[in-house]
Amino acid sequence: MRDLLHRTSETAARYLENLDHRSVAPSPEAIAGLAELQEPMPDRPMEPGLVLDTLDRIGSPATTGMAGRRYFGFVIGGSLPAALAANWLAGAWDQCPGLFAASPIGTALEEVSLGWLLDVLKLPPGSGGAFVTGATMANFTALAAARHAVLARAGWNVEADGLFGAPPITVVVGDEVHPALSKGLGMLGLGRSRVVRVPVDGQGRLRPDQMPRIQGPAIVCLQAGNVNTGAFDPAREICARAHSAGAWVHVDGAFGLWAAASPQLEHLVDGVADADSWATDAHKWLNVPYDSGLAFVRDVTALKSAMSVTAAYLPQGAHREPSQYTPELSRRARGVEIWAALKSLGRTGLAEMIERNCRLARRFADALRQGGYEILNDVVLNQVLVSFGDPARNWRVIERVQRDGTCWCGPTDWQGRTAMRISVSSWATRDEDVDRSVEAILRAAAAD
Ligand SMILES: *Cc1c(COP(=O)(O)O)cnc(C)c1O
């Protein structure tokens, strides 16, 4: 075991060091090499060292350089050194943190991290929390608590009796709702399409003057950080209106919620803490390894009512029992890396990382604008939308950028226009990485 783990750490270190010298996108040859994986289930065992070598030989070249300094696709984030190291140790620990009796350390790290997270994200102390796979499940989990609460107030027990015959719930979303939240609504029986969609402004912010009149059981879904523009819905005003009508307010803050951790950016989350539940990702802007999402719910009882699980063989002690807050019973101990990331950054390090990413996004926007290209969004956070002209030209330039391999950015559609989307969300990205990437992007655009 010791030799194997030593070799693994050498292999992984070599992989990470090499990221700086290879194309961010895997080469066509590396992708073609994946064909070697297509073999029947092996009959005979293979020595673990050889398994690792095979994985490295076929797998490492076929990875996308998401852990590197110049990956700006989607909203990905890297892995902080302390978080990656903790992830390895957690793998060796192999803890199942659903119950305190099963894993005292796994549950303790989640409990401590939960308190720290509520603190840095400026959310109500004492809120309930669930450590899940990502923001999709975090939205699902928080919305399950919302569904419980609004129906309980109407005298209906949704966990026991289901939705057949239940009082209808009005669900309000902005027109720019993230598809992952809509999927959560679908999984909860609230319907992906059975929603009131509120028009948004040019940055994708829900327009409060367009809010419908709300009556009866209702859930209003806001967004902190639009996945294209980075814009925030006006939470203070909408929370006040929704609450006066007795509605539950949920915030999808998959990456935007982390703005709260920065004194410079905190103004963006004004009023977000007035909501009733929040979803965010630690694998995005906290830069922990996949997968790691977080749901927070002000009313702990609502969350526990939606998620509780009981059986004689599942002891419920005096401790916080994580499986009472999550959809899963067995799962990995995500608190380990979250704790390590927060411990290694501290309050100041976290703020600095978020602010640096936003500053680098502005550096991108300024340089591309100077290069003669149009920036479609107000760069308030870490997202930049740049257009090189008509849709066909944008597609060609983006493809050329990806093939060049200096950096990786993806396409998007913003309010009827095609654009390239740049998301700066890794601890590892520095000024010179942005400058090198801008050069490559301008080269690709000029070649068209
Ligand atoms: C990324 C994202 C999601 C989905 O999160 P996953 O971690 O991929 O499940 C939901 N909403 C927003 C705003 C996002 O940016």
Query: How would DSSP label each residue in 342-380?
Result: HHHHHHHHHHHHHHHHHHHHHHHHHHHHHTT-EE-S--S
- Please choose from 140, 281, 287, 381 the residue to mutate so as to test ligand 1's pocket, defined by most ligand atoms within 8 A of CB: 281
**Residue 75 near ligand 1, beta carbon < 6 Å:** yes
Question: Separation of 279 CA from ligand 1 center, angstroms?
Answer: 9
Looking from the CA of residue 137, the nearest atom of ligand 1 is 9
Question: For residues 176 and 200, what is the distance between their CA atoms, to the nearest angstrom?
Answer: 7
Residue 178 CA: which ligand 1 atom is closest? 11
Query: Is the pLDDT at 340 greater than 80, yes or no?
Result: yes
Which residues fall within 8 angstroms of residue 378, CB to CB, at 6 or more apart? 203, 229, 231
pLDDT at 119: 98
Residue 314 pLDDT class (50, 70, 90 cuts): confident
Residue nearest to atom 13 of ligand 1 (CA): 254
What band does 5 get if pLDDT is binned at 50, 70 and 90? very high
User: What letter does residue 60 receive in the DSSP assignment?
Assistant: G
CA 162 to chain centre: 29
**How far away, in angstroms, is 6 Cα from ligand 1 center?**
35
β-pairing, 293-297 with 170-174?
unpaired
Task: Give the C-alpha separation, 433 to 70, whole Å.
Answer: 6
Q: What amino acid occupies position 117? A: L
Q: Which CATH architecture has domain 85-341?
A: 3-Layer(aba) Sandwich (3.40)
178 Cβ below 6 A of ligand 1: yes
- How many Cβ atoms sit within 10 Å of the Cβ of residue 34? 13
pLDDT value, residue 317:
77
Lowest-confidence pick of 158-172, 276-290, 315-329, 407-421: 315-329
Q: Ligand 1: which of 252, 255, 286, 290 to mutate, judged by most atoms within 8 Å of the beta carbon?
A: 252
Residue nearest to atom 5 of ligand 1 (CA): 135
Task: State in Å: Cα 36 to ligand 1 middle.
Answer: 33
439 C-beta neighbours (distance < 10 Å), count = 14
Q: Which residue type does 132 have? A: V
Hey, where are the domains in the chain? 2-68, 85-341
Q: Whose CA is nearest to atom 1 of ligand 1?
A: 254
**Cα 311 to middle of ligand 1, angstroms:** 33
Task: Give the model's pLDDT for residue 147.
Answer: 98
Residue 293 CB less than 6 A away from ligand 1? yes
Exposure of 258 in the CB half-sphere (CA atoms within 13 A): 31
| CA–centroid distance, residue 134 to ligand 1 (Å) | 7
Tell me the CA–centroid distance for residue 77 and ligand 1, in Å.
12
Q: What pLDDT, on a 0 to 100 scale, did the predictor assign at position 416?
A: 96
Q: Is 177 in the pocket of ligand 1 (CB under 6 A)?
A: no
Average pLDDT, the chain: 97
Instruction: Read off the pLDDT of each residue in 261-272 and give the average, rounded to a whole number.
Output: 98
CA of 64 to the centre of ligand 1 (A): 19
Rounded mean pLDDT of 159-180? 98
Give the residue-averaged pLDDT of 386-412. 98
Q: Is the CB of 233 under 6 A from ligand 1?
A: no
Distance 318 CA to ligand 1 centre (A): 34
Q: How many CB atoms lie within 10 A of CB 313?
A: 4
- Whole-number Å distance, alpha carbon 19 to ligand 1 midpoint, is 26
Provide the residue type at 435 as one letter: D
pLDDT exceeds 90 at position 16: yes
| This prediction's pTM | 0.97
Nearest to 265 by CA among 295, 289, 285, 251: 285
Task: State how far the Cα of 107 lies from the Cα of 99, in Å rounded to an integer.
Answer: 7
Task: Name the pairing type of β-strands 170-174 and 218-223.
Answer: parallel
What is the structure's pLDDT at 310?
84
Cβ distance 9 to 52 under 8 Å? no
Q: Which pairs from 262-266 meet CB under 8 Å and 24+ separation? A: 262/350, 262/351, 262/354, 262/355, 262/358, 263/351, 264/351, 264/355, 264/358, 265/354, 265/355, 265/358, 265/381, 266/122
If you take atom 2 of ligand 1, which residue's CA is the nearest one?
A: 254
Report whether pLDDT(315) > 90.
Answer: no
228 token code pair: 């294209």
